[in-house]
């Protein structure tokens, strides 16, 4: 039955006003019609509701092994809190939203199962239980993942099929509940996306998905509990004007537990009354030598497993204390299923991380919204592409895991993706609040005002970088607006060939195309690329290629380089940035000085044919990448729109 992945508030900019400053953050939404079929021609609202009673509502009749099961605590007219689900009998199953109104899990074994939920209803403590039996028949189809979601949240569902079932036969139908409009055609699609409808009371919405092998049809159902929520104000001063997921402090005993959510991830945040540093200071204002526990006191999550994985990352993969030191410039860390793409926001001082960087098990991955990056089609009208990748030992440094691959990975497998993300987002935080500013911050200032005062008095490092080591290339700035910000290309920009763009970019002093998005991104890209090289010996490739017009057409290199940060004109810019973001890295200057010159790609060959271009070919570092390569899911996606792992910081002024 299920795959809950709530599509995040997809955004790169969104309007907000403050007394002293303004920044832009655009919320992008998915459009398109529905390709789903209704059960009949009647409006959905006329269907008989799935349930007419209250209590535990189960969607598990005739349950089979490997078929997801959903249980919902359903009291639409009552106030519920302090919810806690427990399994009381049967082979152990995994559910990762035990404090939610809905849980879902996939039994792997036949047998009897029992569950119990305790909760407060209208202030009174109650406990309910539910039992069911799973047959030994193995399900050939599984829809994941049933869950509870606030009205207006983004939702994604995915179906898994046995090998003999045909993808082109997949058919999704809504069976009951408030009408849902899918974002795009659903027939033949493994994953579907929609926005949870507005409801006046908690409402159950059910779907079926079927597929055939040509002779017989298999079907599964999945349910979503849409929770009624307070309306989002239409006031232009509201920071988040699309629905955010329910989140909570990872550490319930954090000294900031009472303010964390309200200060950094709430639909009630108002630019005029946003939190002050006295309410939620930078970590550096509490301690300049934070422990992992100090940092975890600032973590906000939608699911506890996300916080646990983040904690393990800090414990196991920060031997030089890079990340603990860089996190001092933040107020909080938000990891929620609806964060996609990742970003830093100076309004709250928090970094927001896509949990896709943290999952280890298929069950954890099931709780993440898998909506694609909203920028995927930006720049399609251009006549060139500029793919990039991280490489190590003449091979891809990271892995791509297709949505239908229910694999378990180790923390090592996602290390490079997560490290690059952290270096990038924390570069933004340390741009606005560099170490030299910490002692002079006024705790009575709102976080945004504090940043604006720094800009007005001394400027922030990314501004100063653009003055001391400016990027030129007006053409590249214009093309970046098309590729990364969705602006309409001019006829001249559409006419540029790969050769033209190679001529524009190759003599420039930026390591990546994305540097031209803004001064903030230029600053952060210089830092994360260098840190990946310095700490992990991971290089970044960049090329100018054709723009393939079909899936069968390959990216063919016109110009390209590996390790462009070793360019003599780029090294001074890398040094400028690194000294200011992480002064504790005292050997950085020497490493920068000794960076090798970039390695040229061979024009005319494909992007993949230019993978093995380093002079020394070593074996894959098995201490970092495990034997998952045998499953042939190596990262070979073409990264074009922005950074797969990086997102725009929100500058006060450009």
The pLDDT mean for the chain works out to 87
Q: What share of the chain is helix, strand, coil (3-state, %, to 5)?
A: 25, 25, 50
pLDDT in tens, 524-537: 999 999 999 999 99
* Half-sphere exposure (Cβ direction) of 245: Cα atoms closer than 13 Å: 32
The residues, ordered by sequence, that sit 6+ positions from 207 with a Cβ below 8 Å of its Cβ are: 143, 157, 172, 173, 174, 175, 221, 222, 223, 224
Whole-number pLDDT of residue 51: 63
Query: Is the pLDDT score of 11 beyond 90?
Result: no
Q: What is the mean pLDDT of residues 263-285?
A: 96
Share of the chain above pLDDT 90, in %: 80
Are 443 and 278 in contact by the 8 Å Cβ rule? The answer is yes
The closest of 549, 547, 556, 470 to 516, measured between CA atoms, is 470
226 DSSP β-pair partners: 149, 203
Fold of 16-227: Immunoglobulin-like (2.60.40)
pLDDT in tens, 468-519: 999 998 999 999 999 999 999 999 999 999 999 999 999 999 999 999 999 9
End-to-end CA distance of the chain: 47
Model pTM score: 0.88
Are 507 and 521 in contact by the 8 Å Cβ rule? The answer is no
Q: What is the mean pLDDT of residues 129-138?
A: 94
Residue ranges of domains in the chain: 16-227
Dig out the tokens for 89 from the structure.
Answer: 């009998």
pLDDT in tens, 583-630: 999 999 999 999 999 999 999 999 999 999 998 644 433 333 333 332
Listed in sequence order, the DSSP H helices in 25-164 are none
CA angle, residues 488, 494, 500, in degrees to nearest 5: 130
């Amino acid at each position: 039955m299920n795959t809950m992945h709530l599509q995040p508030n997809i955004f790169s900019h969104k309007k907000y006003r403050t007394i002293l400053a303004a920044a832009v953050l655009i919320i992008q939404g998915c459009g398109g019609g529905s390709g789903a079929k209704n059960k009949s021609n009647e409006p959905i609202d006329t269907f008989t509701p799935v349930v007419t009673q209250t209590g535990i509502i189960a969607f598990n009749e005739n349950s089979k092994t490997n078929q997801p099961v959903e249980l919902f605590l359903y009291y639409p007219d009552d106030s519920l809190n302090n919810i806690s689900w427990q399994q009381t009998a049967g082979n152990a199953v995994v559910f990762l939203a035990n404090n939610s109104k809905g849980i879902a899990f996939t039994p792997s074994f036949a047998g009897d199962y029992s569950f119990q939920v305790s909760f407060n209803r209208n202030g009174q403590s109650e406990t309910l239980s539910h039992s069911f039996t799973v047959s030994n028949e193995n399900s050939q189809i599984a829809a994941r993942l049933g869950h509870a979601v606030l009205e207006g949240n983004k939702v994604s569902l995915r179906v898994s099929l046995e090998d003999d079932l045909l993808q082109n036969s997949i058919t999704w139908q809504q069976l009951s509940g408030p009408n849902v409009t899918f974002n795009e055609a659903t027939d033949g699609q493994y994953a579907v996306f929609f926005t949870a409808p507005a409801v006046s009371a908690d409402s159950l919405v059910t779907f079926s998905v079927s597929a055939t092998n040509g002779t017989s049809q298999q079907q599964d159902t999945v349910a979503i509990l849409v929770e009624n929520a307070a309306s989002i104000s239409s006031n232009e001063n509201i920071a988040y004007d699309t629905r955010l997921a329910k989140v909570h402090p990872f550490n319930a005993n954090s000294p900031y537990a009472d303010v964390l959510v309200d200060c950094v991830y709430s639909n009630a945040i108002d630019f005029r009354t946003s939190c002050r540093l006295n309410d939620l200071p930078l970590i550096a204002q509490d301690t300049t030598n934070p422990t992992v526990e100090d940092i975890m006191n600032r973590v906000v999550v939608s699911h506890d497993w996300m916080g646990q994985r983040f904690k393990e990352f800090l414990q196991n993969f920060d031997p030089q204390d890079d990340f603990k030191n860089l996190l001092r410039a933040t107020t909080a860390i938000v990891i929620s299923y609806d964060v996609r793409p990742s970003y830093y926001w100076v309004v709250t001082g928090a970094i927001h991380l896509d949990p896709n960087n943290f999952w280890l098990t298929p069950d954890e991955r099931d709780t993440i919204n898998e909506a694609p990056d909203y920028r995927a089609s930006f720049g399609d009208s251009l006549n060139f592409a500029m793919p990039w990748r991280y490489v190590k030992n003449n091979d891809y440094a990271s892995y791509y895991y297709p949505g239908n691959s229910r694999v378990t990975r180790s923390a090592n497998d996602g290390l490079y993706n997560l490290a690059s993300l952290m270096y990038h987002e924390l570069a933004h935080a340390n741009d606005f609040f560099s170490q030299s500013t910490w002692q002079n911050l006024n705790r009575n200032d709102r976080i945004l005002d504090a940043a604006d005062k720094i800009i007005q008095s001394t400027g922030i490092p990314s501004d100063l970088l653009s003055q001391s080591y400016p990027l030129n290339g007006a053409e590249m700035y214009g093309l970046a607006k098309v590729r990364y910000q969705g602006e309409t290309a001019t006829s001249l920009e559409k006419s540029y060939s790969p050769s033209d763009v190679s001529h524009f970019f190759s003599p420039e002093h930026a390591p990546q195309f994305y540097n031209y998005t803004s001064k903030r991104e230029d600053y952060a890209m210089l830092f994360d690329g260098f840190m990946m090289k310095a700490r992990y010996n991971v290089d970044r490739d960049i090329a100018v290629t054709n723009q393939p017009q079909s899936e069968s057409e390959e990216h063919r290199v016109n110009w390209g380089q590996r390790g462009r940060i070793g360019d003599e004109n780029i090294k001074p810019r890398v040094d400028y940035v690194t000294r200011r973001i992480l002064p504790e890295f005292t050997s950085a200057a020497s490493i920068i000085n000794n960076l090798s010159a970039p390695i040229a790609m061979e024009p005319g060959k494909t992007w993949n044919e230019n993978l093995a271009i380093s002079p020394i070919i070593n074996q894959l570092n098995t201490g970092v990448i495990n034997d998952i390569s045998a499953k042939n899911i190596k990262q070979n996606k073409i990264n074009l729109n922005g950074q797969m792992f990086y997102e725009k910081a929100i500058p006060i002024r450009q």
